[in-house]
Chain A
Amino acid sequence: MSWDYSGNEKWTWDQIPLGAMTLDGGTATGHKTGDWRVQRPIWDTEKCKQCLICWMHCPDSSIKVADQKMCGIDYEHCKGCGVCVVACPFGALSMISENDARELDEKEVQ
C-alpha cells in the first residue's frame, strides 16, 4: 500500500479526500477488528490435515496460509464467528472463550 494516511486523525476538513475517499486498496489490513471477538478459535496442529477447508469457509480471510499450507489464524481480524470450527472435518479447530484465551496469553508471557 502506497497511500500515506498517517496523521489522518489531525486532518482538517480541507485535507480529507473528497467524498471521504480511500486512495488505495487493501486498507482493511491496517484496520484491526479482532477485538470484537467473544470466542477465539484455537488450532490444533497435531489434528490438522492441511485440507484448507477452514480457509475456504472463513468469511474474514483470517486463516493464514503460506506455501499452500495453513500456518496460523489472524487474530487481528478474526471475529470469532466459529465457522471454521464447524467446517473442519478433523476437529482441529475449537472455540474457547476470549477471556480464557487472554488469561492463557498472559500466562505465556509470564
Chain B
Amino acid sequence: MAEVTVLAGSGDQMVAEAFRQANPDVLPVYPITPQTIIVEEFDKFVAEGRVHTEFVPVESEHSAMAAAIGASAAGARTVTATASQGLAYMWEQLYVAAGMRLPIVMANANRALSAPINIHGDHSDILGARDSGWIMYFAENAQEAYDDTLMAFRVAEHPDVMLPVATTLDGFITSHALERCELMDDETVAKFVGEYKPEHSLLDTDNPNSYGMFANLGNFYMETKLAQRKAMEKAMPIIKAVGEEWEAISGRPFDVVKTFGTEDAERVIVVMGSSTGNCRAVAKALREVGEKVGVVSLRVFRPFPTEELAAALKGAKAIAVMDRAETVGGEGGPLWQEVSACLHSAGNTAPVRDYMYGLGGADVTLELINDIFNDLKTLEADKAAGTVPAVTYKGNR
C-alpha cells in the first residue's frame, strides 16, 4: 500500500528525492544556481549510502553531459541536472544525447542567460534548447517537479521512445521556495519507475558496437532525424499513459495541457511553469465577478501538445501568450510561435497577443496578469486599429 509523507520541500529537494528513489547508476553533474540544491541533496544520499549511484563531480557542464552520454551508451540509468549557462555550455552535447537516442533524465532549474548576469528564473535557457530533440516537461510547482522527474524515467526508457527527457522547474520560485509536498514511499516508486534494461551496452565486448556513426557513409542523416521525429510522436501517448498510471498511484491529476475555466472562457492566457498559479488565481477572482476568462498551461512542451492545446483554445475569442524567453528579432517569443502555428493548423482565427514577462526573474504580479486579461477585452479592435506591437513587454520600466 502506498504511503505518503507530507513535507515542506523545495523543488530542488523534491527532484533530488525523485533521483534517489529512481536510484540511477551514474550521475555526472556540475553545480550551478539555482540547481545547486539538487546536487547538494543527492551528494548526501551518496555519502549516506542510500543510493548505489556512481557520482561523478565533473569539471564543467560540457563534461557532465559528455559523461552522461558515455554512461548511458554503456547501458547505465543516467541522470544529471543543470541550469542557465550550464545548459548553454552543454549545447552541442544535448543534440548528441538525443541523436544517439540515449534515455538520459536531466532536471533543469530554468534561469536567465547572461548578459547581464542574472541568476533568477525565466525560460531563456531551456527554450533555447527546444530543437535539441529532448522531451521537455514544465513543472508549475515543487510537487509537479517531483512527479515529472519520476515519470521521465518511464517515458525516456520506453523502447518506443528512447529519447532524453528534461524536467524543468522555474529558478528560485519553484527550485527554492518551500511548499507542501507529498513524497511517495520508496517501494511504491521503485515499482513504478522499474528497472532500466538497455538493449545495447558499449561495455559488451562480445557484441562490439558504437553510437552515432558517420552519417555521410550511407547518407542517412535525414532518416535519423525522421526517426527522432517519429519517436517524439510516439512519446505523446506514452507520456499520457505514464501520467495516468502515476495519477492512479498518487491521486494527482496529470494533463499535458492543464486548463482552468476554458469550458466557457472567451479570454484565455496561455502560460508555462510557475506563473500558472498566479494566472489561475487572477482568473478565479475574475470569474467570481462573472468575467469569462480562462488559463491554459502547458506541462509538456516537447513533444508539443498540438491537439490538446487546439481543443483547449477552441472557444477562445481572444488569446494572450505569456513568453518568458526572448527571441530577439523574431516576430514573437518561442511559446507564441508554437501557439500561433497550432491555432493556424486548427483553423482557429482568434486574435493572439504575445507578452514578454518575468525575464531574469522580474516580478510576476497579479496586477500584471489582470492587465493582460483587460487588454484582451479590446484585442480584436486594437489589432484592427494597428496599435498592438509584435511583442508587448509587461512588468518592465
Binding between chains A and B:
yes
- Which residues on A are within 8 Å of B, measured CB to CB? 8-9, 11-14, 16, 18-27, 31
Interface of B is mostly: loop
Contact between chains at B223 and A16 (CB < 8 Å): yes
Q: For this complex, into which size category does the number of interface residues on chain B fall?
A: 20 to 34
Contact between chains at B209 and A8 (CB < 8 Å): no
Contact between chains at A9 and B218 (CB < 8 Å): yes
- B218 to A: closest C-beta gap in Å: 4
Given A19-B100, A20-B99, A20-B215: A14 in contact with B227 (beta carbons within 8 A): yes
Contact between chains at A24 and B101 (CB < 8 Å): no
Contact between chains at A18 and B162 (CB < 8 Å): yes
Contact between chains at A11 and B218 (CB < 8 Å): yes
- B175 to A: closest C-beta gap in Å: 31
User: Is B47 an interface residue, CB under 8 A from the partner?
Assistant: no
Contact between chains at A13 and B227 (CB < 8 Å): yes
Interface positions, chain B 87-102, Cβ under 8 Å from A, are 99-102
Contact between chains at B209 and A21 (CB < 8 Å): yes
Which residues from chain A contact B289 at a C-beta distance below 8 Å? none
Which residues from chain A contact B217 at a C-beta distance below 8 Å? 8, 31
Which residues from chain B contact A18 at a C-beta distance below 8 Å? 101, 162, 199, 227
- Give 20 new A-B contacts, CB below 8 A, not counting A8-B217, A23-B209: A8-B220, A9-B218, A11-B220, A12-B223, A13-B226, A13-B227, A14-B227, A16-B218, A16-B220, A18-B101, A20-B99, A20-B211, A20-B213, A21-B200, A22-B209, A22-B211, A23-B207, A26-B208, A27-B213, A31-B217
User: Is B230 an interface residue, CB under 8 A from the partner?
Assistant: yes
> Once the chains are docked, how many angstroms separate the CA of A21 from the CA of B101?
10
